[in-house]
Amino acid sequence: MATKDTKVRPVRVGVVGVGGAGEVHVKAYKALPGVEIVAVSDASGPRVDLIKTTYNIANGHTDWNELVERDDIDVISIATPNYLHMPVAVAALNAGKHVLSEKPLARSSAEGQAMVDAAEANDRVLGVSFNHRYRGDVSILKQVIDAGTLGSVYYAKAYWMRRQGVPFWGGWFSKHELAGGGPMIDLGVHMLDMTLYLLGEPEPTSVSAAVYSELAPRGRGSLHPLQGEFDVEDLSTAFVRLAGGGTLLLEASWAGYGHQMDDFGVELFGTDAGAQLDNREWKNTDTLRIFTDIAGVPTISTPRVDRMGENEGHVGAIRDFLDVVLGDPAEWKHHRGRAGLKRARIIEAAYQSAKENREIVLK
């Protein structure tokens, strides 16, 4: 079992689920000093073999329980389909491991709560991989907000809109039972995280939302052959009230006839200035604008985002997670996955609101 002496490097890591995101975790751990990836697990044996060989990893398991039970692992990353985040995390935390889960924390707040409770009960760290916080433009915008340049931000619009981005048809992403939802839980959660992070974690008080599934069930909106089940939304919009009177409009789509193929960003309206972070088609250039008045004249500033070089993504998320794990154990109690749970509660309320056609008040 991993103990509080995990301060001693190397940190011994296991990665459960080594598909697209899991391989990104493997690469990120490999990019950090003092980390040894001891084992990977995937339901697909050939995939386990490929990742082991490509990244020179000694051990592989097709049953994740075997990886969790290993006593030579301190930290487990979970990058499985969403429905497995909770069972793998709870088992890993109960086995004394620290856990980094891919987003979303879980399909529901009940699952998320079980994960937070297990982290609490075992005094372990539970992190969630919100890698888009680690963009260079986000860190500059955070600096601008924290310096008070925008004044008090009272309205935010956040979006991740794809025109033709339904993930692999018939795969787990498009099945409610396996994913917990469509683009709102997949993409919206990233922009929800970005906005709440930028605004200093305001508490949500209520959510009103609508979801649509107009294109995907008719075979539109995907680059992939269309077959199998699709029982989630393909476009969603939510209006979130925040404590203190602020509001957030959150939109997410995999498919929809908009001007964009793949755009994400956030627009902020403050009492002294506004800001827009808008990333179109992953160009990652000229993404940030600040709107102010200079001598009464509306002015647009474009901060130099040469810190896009610090666009760290998963490396930043994993480095911060490991810093907590290797830091003062007295601080672990501040890192039990509660930020992920807060986002899960908002998204769950959005789906409930859409289903019941009413505003959901969050307690």
Ligand X SMILES: NC(=O)c1ccc[n+]([C@@H]2O[C@H](COP(=O)([O-])OP(=O)(O)OC[C@H]3O[C@@H](n4cnc5c(N)ncnc54)[C@H](O)[C@@H]3O)[C@@H](O)[C@H]2O)c1
Does 230 contact ligand X by CB under 6 A?
no
Find the binder of ligand X among 131, 236, 237, 279 (CB under 6 A). Answer: 131
Are 82 and 74 contacting, i.e. CB atoms less than 8 angstroms apart? no
Report in angstroms how near the CB of residue 27 gets to ligand X at its nearest: 13
Of positions 20, 33, 296, 298, contacts ligand X by CB under 6 A: 20
Total of residues contacting ligand X (CB under 6 A): 23
Question: Should residue 170 be labelled a site residue for ligand X when binding is judged by CB under 6 A?
Answer: no
Per CB under 6 A, the segment of 80-88, 148-156, 255-263, 298-306 that binds ligand X is 80-88
Angle of CA points 117, 315, 321, to nearest 5°: 25
H helix runs in the chain, sequence order: 20-31, 45-55, 64-69, 85-94, 109-122, 136-146, 176-179, 183, 189-198, 314-326, 338-356
**CA–CA dist 328, 292 (Å, integer):** 42
Query: Could you tell me which stretch among 17-25, 148-156, 246-254, 324-332 binds ligand X (CB under 6 A)?
Result: 17-25
> Does residue 129 touch ligand X according to CB under 6 A?
yes
To 10 degrees, the CA torsion angle through 103, 109, 112, 117?
160
Interacting positions 139-158 with ligand X (CB under 6 A)? none
CA 68 to chain centre: 23
Count Cβ atoms below 10 Å from residue 116 Cβ, excluding itself. Answer: 22
Nearer to ligand X (CB atom), residue 44 or residue 271: 44
Site string for ligand X, 84-113 (x = CB under 6 A): x-----------------xx----------
Shortest approach of ligand X to residue 154 CB, angstroms?
Answer: 29
The smaller minimum CB distance to ligand X, of residues 282 and 309, is found at: 282
- Neighbour tally for 314: CB within 10 Å: 22
Residue 115 in contact with ligand X, rule: CB under 6 A: no
Point out which span in 43-51, 219-227, 265-273, 341-349 binds ligand X (CB under 6 A). Answer: 43-51
Distance CA 107, CA 271 (A): 36
Query: Could you give the 3-state DSSP secondary structure of residue 175?
Result: coil
List of residues 6+ apart from 143 with CB closer than 8 A: none
Applying CB under 6 A, which residues contact ligand X? 16-22, 41-44, 47, 64, 79-82, 84, 102-103, 129, 131, 186
